[in-house]
């Protein structure tokens, strides 16, 4: 992989570009909070060659939503479940929209 390839990957929402420390700093939370999200299986960070946790922008958005719920008093386990269900609903709605678009274009 060349340096140019690395820069291109930074636009990828799934590219694990952020260390645990940087991710926690960006979210305004602790590294322990991020570890607890991993333990609850809300996000599973990738590991660097040295074994360090690395997070993607997509994972940081999910973690930010969980933090928002926890900050409003929702227990972390419940917050994780809510975020998972929200994510599943968003995906189902996206698939429905895509299906409708396909159906309408084949059956005018």
Terminal-residue alpha carbon distance, the chain = 46
**CB proximity list for 35: less than 8 A, separation 6 or greater:** none
CB atoms within 10 A of CB 91: 10
Across the chain, mean pLDDT equals 90
The residue among 69, 80, 15, 52 whose CA lies nearest residue 88 is 80
Q: Give the residue with greater pLDDT, 91 vs 107.
A: 91
CB atoms within 10 A of CB 43: 21
| 3-48 confidence digits (pLDDT tens) | 455 556 667 888 989 999 999 999 999 999 999 999 999 999 999 8
Task: Report the alpha-carbon distance of residue 59 to residue 27 in Å, rounded.
Answer: 11
Percent of the chain with pLDDT over 90: 75
pTM of the model: 0.79
Structure confidence at residue 104 (pLDDT): 86
Task: Report the alpha-carbon distance of residue 50 to residue 105 in Å, rounded.
Answer: 50
What are the tokens at 61? 């958005």
């Amino acid at each position: 992989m060349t340096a140019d390839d690395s820069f291109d990957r930074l636009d990828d929402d799934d590219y694990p570009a952020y260390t645990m420390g940087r991710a926690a700093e960006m979210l305004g939370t602790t590294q322990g909070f991020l570890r607890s999200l991993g333990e609850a299986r809300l996000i599973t960070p990738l590991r660097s060659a040295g074994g360090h946790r690395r997070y993607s922008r997509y994972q940081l958005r999910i973690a930010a939503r969980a933090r928002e719920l926890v900050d409003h008093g929702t227990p972390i386990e419940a917050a994780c479940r809510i975020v998972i269900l929200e994510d599943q609903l968003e995906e189902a709605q996206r698939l429905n929209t895509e299906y409708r678009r396909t159906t309408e274009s084949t059956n005018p």
